[in-house]
Amino acid sequence: MIDCERPVLGMILKGYPRISETFISNEILLLESLGFTIHLFSMRHPRESFAHKSVERIRAGVDYLPQEILAGFFPLLYHNLRAAARQPRRYLAAVRTAGRRFLRTRKSATIKHLLQAGYLVDKLLPGRNIVHLHAHFAHSPTSVAMFAAALSGIPFSFTAHAKDIYTSDPRQLREKMALARFVVTCTEYNRRHLLDIGRGGRTPVYRVYHGIDLKLFGHASDEGRVPEMPYRLLTIARLVPKKGLPTVYRALRILKDRGVRFQHTLIGDGDDRESILSKIETLGLADDCRWLGTLPHEVVLAHYRKADLFVLGCEIAPNGDRDGIPNVYIEAMAMGVPVVGTRVSAVPELVSHGRTGLLVPPGAPAALADAMHRLLADGSLRTRIIDAARKRVIRDFDNQRLIRDLGDIFHREQPRL
């Protein structure tokens, strides 16, 4: 429960909780451990029937905004009329901002975000002592935060991640950055891109990597084991274009044609599920590959411990979407599982080719197959990479240290917290 005597950080999320966004729930939990009082505002109810155990330890309360205009029409209308009556100048200014943004893109979501912000400000903010709003993802959650800030006078900030940066209209994103107190992003690649979009704006943009719990992702139980055929290969990913899974399976087909025996496990789900599963069948890999869907953390950890190699084929999707640094790379490296990936976005900030893993160009299945086979067969290289990769994670991706950096940013930019 929220202690209304203490200043509260209001956090606006796309959905809560979400299995694929463990880094957000971990951040909330760790910020609470630093003494922050947090209340969550979620734009969607959870999609999965289960959540990671860390969510159970979060003390923050959560309120859900009306998800659609038609389904929530009367509550949205009622609370927006009240907000307009109480602060007509603020509301008119927010309407003008919404109109300007709508004319740029002609997207009706702009109107929905204004209405959701009005609902949040009139119904959910009063009595909570919220002094700052922070949104995760630069698209719709930050739109709601921006309008809520305009309606309430409470400053806002946001964390930008991956798709939300590279598929957003730069004009819309530039305006959000200009209005925000500060911006956080999870890679140096992203930070530089945002600074380019900002065109010399005064809003500070901070880089804070997503870390992992080093106590949770400990060493593999069979560390030092020499891999033998059939090799145990692992991929954990959302089934979406930017993960490059077709390239992974074409590489696996090449390995099979070379006489390399393996068992590949894919964990995750997404919109491309049917096409990915069809690709496995078409390539004649049904006996060598299995798909397990979305799994809870403790089961995923067991798969890391058994794996000989982790592989992912990240690429830039046709719509511009791309990864930052997939957390699964960090987790695998911490667990002593060597990784093979692609030179895309910020991946080289973690995986240094030949030192902490092997990288190949995106969309190059033959090169990916070569790198996998090399890291499975070259014992000396494998040992060096596993050791260096673990040291890199410990040095730069410990979430206990990184969350303190984030906490310092909040305190510096919003002293009332």
DSSP 159-226: EE-SHHHHTS-HHHHHHHHHHSS-EEES-HHHHHHHHHHHTT-SS-EEE----B-TTTS---TTTTPP
Look at residue 218 in the predicted model and tell me its pLDDT. Answer: 76
Give the span between the Cα atoms of 100 and 111, in whole angstroms.
Answer: 11
Report the SS3 class of residue 403: helix
Over residues 56-103, the pLDDT tens digits come to 899 999 999 999 999 999 999 999 999 999 999 999 999 999 999 999
Average pLDDT rounded to a whole number, residues 318-330: 95
Fold topology of 231-396: Rossmann fold (3.40.50)
- Tracing tokens 């044609």 back to the chain, one arrives at 257
Instruction: Give the pLDDT band (50/70/90) at residue 55.
Output: confident
Look at residue 224 in the predicted model and tell me its pLDDT. Answer: 64
Average pLDDT rounded to a whole number, residues 364-377: 98
**C-alpha angle with apex 396: 133 to 398, nearest 5 degrees?**
65
Question: Which token pair is 56?
Answer: 């159970």
Give this prediction's pTM: 0.92
Look at residue 230 in the predicted model and tell me its pLDDT. Answer: 97
Instruction: Give the pLDDT band (50/70/90) at residue 225.
Output: confident
Give the span between the Cα atoms of 394 and 333, in whole angstroms.
Answer: 10
Residue 3 above 80 pLDDT? no
Residue 1 above 50 pLDDT? no
Look at residue 49 in the predicted model and tell me its pLDDT. Answer: 60
Residue 414 above 70 pLDDT? yes
Look at residue 220 in the predicted model and tell me its pLDDT. Answer: 66
For the chain, give every residue range classified as CATH 3.40.50.2000: 8-211+398-413, 231-396
For residues 273 and 328, the answer to whether their CB atoms sit within 8 Å is no
Look at residue 136 in the predicted model and tell me its pLDDT. Answer: 97
Average pLDDT rounded to a whole number, residues 222-247: 91
**C-alpha angle with apex 409: 320 to 151, nearest 5 degrees?**
75
Look at residue 22 in the predicted model and tell me its pLDDT. Answer: 83
- Range with the poorest average pLDDT among 116-120, 204-208, 218-222, 407-411: 218-222
Over residues 6-32, the pLDDT tens digits come to 999 999 999 998 876 888 999 999 999
Architecture of domain 8-211+398-413: 3-Layer(aba) Sandwich (3.40)
Q: Phi and psi dihedrals of 383, rounded to 5?
A: -65, -45
Look at residue 124 in the predicted model and tell me its pLDDT. Answer: 98
Residue 398 above 90 pLDDT? yes
Nearest one of 346, 365, 369, 348 to 357, comparing CA atoms: 348
- Which residue type is seen at 175? E
Look at residue 2 in the predicted model and tell me its pLDDT. Answer: 47
Look at residue 46 in the predicted model and tell me its pLDDT. Answer: 82
CB < 8 Å & 24+ apart, contacts of 46-52? 46/15, 46/16, 46/17, 46/18, 47/15, 47/18, 48/18, 48/19, 48/294, 50/19, 50/296, 51/17, 51/19, 51/25, 52/17, 52/19, 52/22, 52/25, 52/296, 52/297
Look at residue 18 in the predicted model and tell me its pLDDT. Answer: 83
What count of other Cβ atoms lies within 10 Å of the Cβ of residue 361?
12
Over residues 148-180, the pLDDT tens digits come to 999 999 999 999 999 999 999 999 999 999 999
